[in-house]
Amino acid sequence: PNAGTWAVIGVFLLLLGKWAALAQSLPARVLLLPPAVGRLAAMLAAAIFPYARPEGLGGFFREGLGWIQIAVAILATLAVTAFTGWTQFATLAVGIVSALGFSYWASTRLGGGLTGDVYGAVCEVTELACLLSLALQNR
């Protein structure tokens, strides 16, 4: 009941895009990559962009985030990429570029920072970008 019209439309389009990408009969192994890149993207967004407000649950996520956690996330994502095949490095690049672009766009709309909701949106948008990249590569 508290979701706005644009939020509902956005979620519908996101799910439609994911469904369309998954309908392309992707190999099961490559389906590990979008969630891994999505979580890395949320961490990078939290590390690079300031938090938009002093309170909020997203601030707790950002507070506990250090370079050790980011390094481990990068290594884990590279390990998943290696497992899925180094040819999927392009998918990793598409995901990171889309995450940083979306994060920059959102931070300009929110006055220079991000919120916890935006971290979640970064993760979902990155997963969609990765799935669409995989679908285009497997055509």
Chain mean position to CA 41? 5
pLDDT of residue 61: 75
Going by the DSSP 8-state scheme, the letter that residue 114 receives in this structure is B
Integer Cα distance of 134 and 14 in angstroms: 16
pLDDT digits (tens, 9 = 90+) for 1-59: 677 888 889 899 999 999 999 998 888 999 999 999 999 999 999 999 988 877 777 77
68 CB-contact burial (10 Å; exposed 0-12 / middle 13-18 / buried 19+): exposed
**112 Rama sector, left if φ>0, alpha if ψ -120 to 50, beta otherwise:** left
Alpha helices in the chain (DSSP H): 5-22, 33-48, 57-63, 67-84, 89-109, 116-137
pLDDT digits (tens, 9 = 90+) for 70-119: 999 999 999 999 999 888 999 999 999 999 999 999 999 888 889 888 89
Mean pLDDT of the chain: 90
Q: Which residue, among 110, 118, 129, has the nearest Cα to 62 in the 3D structure?
A: 118
Q: For residue 3, which phi and psi values (nearest 5 degrees)?
A: -80, 135
pLDDT of residue 57: 73
Residue 99's identity, in one-letter code, is A
pLDDT of residue 62: 78
This prediction has a pTM of: 0.88
CA distances from 76 to 51, 71, 80 (A): 25, 9, 6
- Is the separation of the CB atoms in 120 and 43 below 8 Å? no
